[in-house]
Amino acid sequence: MSIYTETQEKLANKIDNNIDYKTWTDWKWQLRNTIKTVQGMSEILGVKFSEEEEKMYHMVIDKFPLAVTPYYASLIDKNNYKDDPVFKQAFGTMNELDVENYEMSDPLSEESDSPAKGLTHRYPDRVLLTVTGMCSMYCRHCTRKRKVGDNDSNMSLEDLEDAFTYIEDHPEVRDVLVSGGDPLMLSDRKLKMILDRISSIEHVEVIRIGTRMPVVLPYRITDELVEMLGQYDNLWLNTHFNHPREVTDSSKKALKKLSKVGIPLGNQSVLLAGVNDCPYIMKSLVHMLTKNRVRPYYLYQCDLAEGLSHFRTPISKGIEIIESLRGHTSGFAVPVYVVDAPGGGGKIPLNPNYIVTWATNKVILRNYEGIICTYKEPDSYEPIFCDRDCDECTLELNLSPEEYVPEIGIEKLICDNNTETTLTPSCNERQIRRSDDG
Ligand SMILES: *Cc1c(COP(=O)(O)O)cnc(C)c1O
């Protein structure tokens, strides 16, 4: 079955005469013909920009470069491109030049939490490894806008060696998230070398790939690639669909190939004003994803990167979307709505409030329909005191002492075997006065 659409055929012929379906679906051809200029954009769309618009686009692209695959551009509705969700994600607007005083070039402090080139170690047991700065398409809403088009972030295997050594030296790292840029920009061979190198580290239990290729260049998901990825039985893959219009036959085919070899698929959407800030759009998207065996994983609040103010919604919009999903549709179709904390605090989940109130042994809850119910808690509950001595415990976990991971953060306040009752910022003035006096 050919899924070469008329729009795609026309678009292909604008790039080169008589492009057949086979050439169109060659991901390297797509990359070679990525649209990078205002002129290319105007030709492909078949629209004539005014002098003013043209000047504006040049200014935007100078600051944040442009790249769109012919495939992704073919999804744009030319007759109404200004409102088009694909257009908005792919081509900039003047608004990107507005930098608000609260915006940051590295809003998630990925560079401050970087112990080795390409590595961000933020959470206790997992790391983010950015293996390339390249992408087939530059999302206008990218959180790593600071790095887009920056060739320094293209790493050789030697460049990554420090990161691999770091992971080796940190047995607590059991999950490695391979991202970028887009790791599927690398050749199969180079990607395999990276995955093999990570797999050679005994304590790494899970490898994840973060890629937007199924959305912006589904032809990258070749049979050869899938066969190679299918060899790793601890590999997960997360992609980034934001709008139902992106779930095309070509994308579905790519997803099917990946799920067939047993790779669990997840999706991370970004909540974007004017693109998907609508409960109906999100519901339709999560239904399309689950139909194609992709689990909606996260819905991100748009972060505080520079030039994204026009994309940002209030947090209430995200809560509203979750409210419209939870209970109304399959539980596994509901993503977790998160704010990635500015300054590097990691992802913070947000939910509508379901606890109405609390009394002794009674919790009053409300459901998605507005039904208010009482959950009666047990009158007697004997908590099992945990001093982390599994030998003496009736729950039979039987952890060995070397598997003991010390509690941190809020967990430390909750657990039984820690006497600390307060978390105090190190720069708390009252504490500083106390130590000065002492
Ligand atoms: C998102 C992220 C992870 C993975 O977080 P999960 O909640 O486990 O998906 C790890 N490291 C960094 C720096 C991240 O931003």
69 assigned to some structural domain: yes
**How many domains are contained in the chain?**
4
Q: What is the whole-number distance in angstroms between the Cα of residue 346 and the centre of ligand 1?
A: 7
Ligand 1 geometric centre to CA of 235 (Å): 15
Tell whether 49 is covered by a domain: yes
With respect to residue 109, please indicate whether it lies within any of the assigned structural domains.
Answer: no
Task: Tell me if residue 278 is catalytic.
Answer: no
The pLDDT-based confidence of 19 (bands split at 50, 70, 90) is confident
422 part of a folded domain:
yes
**What is the per-residue pLDDT across 124-138, written as a single tens digit (0 to 9) for each?**
999 999 999 999 999
pLDDT > 80? residue 147: no
Domain residue limits at 394:
390-437
107 within domain boundaries = no
120 ligand 1 Cβ < 6 A? yes
| Phi–psi pair at 414, nearest 5 degrees | -85, -35
Q: Which residue has the higher pLDDT, 150 or 387?
A: 387
Q: What spacing in Å lies between the alpha carbon of 438 and ligand 1's midpoint?
A: 41
Query: Of 108, 122, 238, which is best to mutate to test ligand 1, by the most ligand atoms within 8 angstroms of its C-beta?
Result: 122
Establish whether 303 is a catalytic residue: yes
Report pLDDT digits (tens) over 286-343: 999 999 999 999 999 999 999 999 999 999 999 999 999 999 999 999 999 999 998 8
C-alpha 253/C-alpha 151 separation (Å) is 32
326 lines ligand 1 (CB under 6 A): no
Active-site residue, selected from the candidate residues 88, 122, 145, 212: 122
C-beta of 123 in contact with ligand 1 (< 6 A): yes
Q: CA nearest 210: which of 297, 321, 304, 108? A: 297
375 and 327 within one domain: no
Active site residue 144: yes
Whole-model pTM?
0.94
Average pLDDT, the chain: 93
Contact present, 176 and 198 (Cβ < 8 Å): yes
**1 domain residue, yes or no:** no
Buried/exposed code over 96-118 (b: 16+ C-beta within 10 A; e: otherwise): beeeeeebbebbbbbeebbebeb
Could you identify the residue written with the tokens 């500083």? 432
Same domain, 291 and 153: yes
In terms of domains, do 175 and 62 share one?
Answer: no
pLDDT digits (tens, 9 = 90+) for 193-247: 999 999 999 999 999 999 999 999 999 999 999 999 999 999 999 999 999 999 9
Is 37 in the same domain as 139?
A: no
| Same domain membership, residue 417 and residue 323 | no
Query: How far away, in angstroms, is 126 Cα from ligand 1 center?
Result: 7
Kindly state if the Cβ of 174 falls inside 6 Å of ligand 1: no
Q: Which listed residue (142, 297, 300, 302) is catalytic?
A: 142
